[in-house]
């Protein structure tokens, strides 16, 4: 049985998919059986054109398409609304089972979340699920992707406090679109001081590799 980590972010479009691809690639290049999973994805026509297809291609993993993802909605809205419009709402039992299957045949499974941390996954008369319910069902800790620039101290601290309040573990922060300079360097220091979490890696624009030791990365998975 493999180990997993859940990649969340301070908001949508922060670079979860971009960073996840680098994470999956790093572990694969280090010789591990590196896998990907996403419970629910919206705004794509098919798997190849989705976050899952991007990660598979960029990381160069050979995992079969149908195991990368449990639910795909075409409408580019939160999964709960997409399911209201298109049908096929998320069943948490299926998510748990699909994830278990990916864990069975990989050493390290990187799971990508949807949106930011407060993201409704299913909201109907039968069931109400938020992203945090998915994380808890998978029983894995999180990694937080955030922008390196202005405003990130606020978004990171709020997200970390929310995760802590929900009893979800956070292993550290990865800052995306990193340019350096006084403000961004201070953001690293302030995030570490205020959250007591490490900033694990800095990802510049167009990065092709994650600047982080593969063993350290692997040690975060549970």
Site string for Mg ion, 8-47 (x = CB under 5 A): --------xx------------------------------
Q: Which residue is nearest to Mg ion (CB)?
A: 17
Q: What is the smallest separation between the CB atom of 125 and ligand ATP, expressed in angstroms? A: 27
Site string for ligand ATP, 50-69 (x = CB under 6 A): -x------------------
44 or 107, CB closer to ligand ATP? Answer: 44
Residue 26 a catalytic site member: no
Among 23, 51, 73, 108, binds Mg ion (CB under 5 A): 51
Dist. CA 15–CA 114, nearest whole Å = 11
Among 16, 25, 26, 122, binds ligand ATP (CB under 6 A): 16
17 or 184, CB closer to Mg ion? Answer: 17
Burial 137-149 (b: 16+ CB within 10 A, else e): ebebbbbbbbbbe
Helix ranges (DSSP H) in 87-198: 92-104, 131-138, 152-165, 182-195
Q: What is the smallest separation between the CB atom of 79 and ligand ATP, expressed in angstroms? A: 11
Nearest CA to 115 among 154, 148, 82?
Answer: 82
Among 134, 168, 203, 210, binds ligand ATP (CB under 6 A): 203
Tokens 């705004």 correspond to: 43
Tell me the three state secondary structure of residue 4.
strand
| Residue 145 vs residues 8, 65, 100: alpha-carbon distances, Å | 6, 25, 24
Site for ligand ATP in 103-132 (CB under 6 A): 115
- State the catalytic residue, choosing from 26, 38, 56, 171: 38
Burial of 109 (0-12, 13-18, 19+ CB in 10 A): buried
104 or 179, CB closer to ligand ATP? Answer: 179
Tell me the three state secondary structure of residue 161.
helix
């Amino acid at each position: 049985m493999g180990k997993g980590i859940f990649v969340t972010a301070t908001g949508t479009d922060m670079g979860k998919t971009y960073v996840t691809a680098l994470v999956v690639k790093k572990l694969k290049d280090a010789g591990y059986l590196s896998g990907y999973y996403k419970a629910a994805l919206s705004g794509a026509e098919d798997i190849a054109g989705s976050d899952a297809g991007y990660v598979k291609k960029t990381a160069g993993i050979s995992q079969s398409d149908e195991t990368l993802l449990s639910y795909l909605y075409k409408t580019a809205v939160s999964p709960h609304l997409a399911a209201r419009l298109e049908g096929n709402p998320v069943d948490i039992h299926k998510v748990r089972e699909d994830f278990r299957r990916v864990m069975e045949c990989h050493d390290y499974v990187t799971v990508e979340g949807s949106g930011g941390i407060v993201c409704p996954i299913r909201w109907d008369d039968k069931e109400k699920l938020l992203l945090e319910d998915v994380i808890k069902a998978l029983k894995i800790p999180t990694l937080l992707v955030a922008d390196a620039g202005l405003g990130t101290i606020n978004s990171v601290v709020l997200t970390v406090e929310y995760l802590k309040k929900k009893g979800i573990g956070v292993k550290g922060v990865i800052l995306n679109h990193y340019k350096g300079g006084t403000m961004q360097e201070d953001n690293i220091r302030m995030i570490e001081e205020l959250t007591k979490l490490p900033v694990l890696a800095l990802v510049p624009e167009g990065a092709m590799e994650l600047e982080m030791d593969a063993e350290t990365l692997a040690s975060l998975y549970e």
